[in-house]
Amino acid sequence: MVTATATATTPAFVVTQEDKPRHVAFICSKGTLDMVYPALVMGWAALGNGIDVTIFFTFWGLDMINKNRVDHIEIAPVGNTAMKMSMMGLNTGNLGIPQLAGVLPGMTAFATKLMKDKIKALEVPSVREYLQMLVDAGAKLYACKMSVDMMGLRQEDFIEGVEAIVTAGDFMDMTDGAQVVFI
Amino acid sequence: MATKVIAGHQVQMNDEGFMTNPQEWDREVAAAIAQAEGIPELTLQHWRVIDFCRQDGMASGKAPTLRRITALAGVSTKDMFALFPKGPAKKVAKISGLGKPEGCV
């Protein structure tokens, strides 16, 4: 008796994926406007490429998921040598914003508005909306227990979609084999 | 770049599996690519998204990003990831015979 062996052939036009899906984990430790967006942008790009995403919020990064803070992420010109006056549309080349001017009341709010306007002009979502998109797309968000305890926060202080408050050890367990990006 | 035969049609495809000539597309090609991408059957919900992408892609010359699809086709992000798992914008662009979607959002 002759038995025909059926060979499962993958059509030639299929780009096959590896068995274990790629997993990228971001540690968000900062709460300033320029430092909260990288994980959002890269996380969204990862999800768009079929990559699993985990985000761990620690220290100032907790502002990103704090209900009362997420809409008030700011950027200060003080101590930021990369922030030039030309960003305001002034033809001043590499001239920085004078540090003394940066300490004046309202300067942080001004710089923040400037940057938020630029973000909006590019049709980039707000931090709150971005996080919602990430959660809807399957990203897993966690808050760092030590930071949460230090800042006297509770689960109910966080936006919806934050799965749990976990320890650094838990984070290590859940990101076994993942690529980790610290921001 | 290579010529592939999909659902009895000859189509041009790049190395990443995106069709390079959207004119070579039809609904049978879409169904065959979808199957190869792990979507055994295209439902009405899938077609609503594909039809939007075809329309938008043919008009603009580029595949819509996920945010554009969710904003204009009336499909939520959650639904998009359920309908086209693991990278919905890229997947639906492939199925719609369009190029790779560009843009960071």
A46–chain B Cβ distance below 8 A for any pair: no
Tell me the domain boundaries of chain A: 23-182
- Asked which of A27-36, A106-115, A157-166 is least confident by mean pLDDT, the reply is A106-115
- pLDDT tens readout for residues A98-151: 888 888 999 899 989 999 999 999 889 999 999 999 999 999 999 999 999 999
ipTM confidence score: 0.86
Tell me the domain boundaries of chain B: 2-95
Contact assignment for A137 to B87 by CB distance below 8 Å: no
Is the pLDDT confidence value at B13 over 60?
Answer: yes
Superfamily of domain A23-182: DsrEFH-like (3.40.1260.10)
Residue A12: predicted pLDDT: 56
pLDDT tier, A89 (very low <50, low <70, confident <90, very high otherwise): confident
| Selected residue of A13, A16, A17, A40 to mutate for chain B interface (largest B Cβ count, 10 A) | A13
Residue B81: predicted pLDDT: 95
Residue A85: predicted pLDDT: 84
- Asked which of A93-107, A165-179, B79-93 is least confident by mean pLDDT, the reply is A93-107
Q: Who's near A166: CB < 8 A, 6+ residues apart?
A: A56, A142, A143, A144, A145, A174
Contact assignment for B87 to A41 by CB distance below 8 Å: no
Residue A15: predicted pLDDT: 54
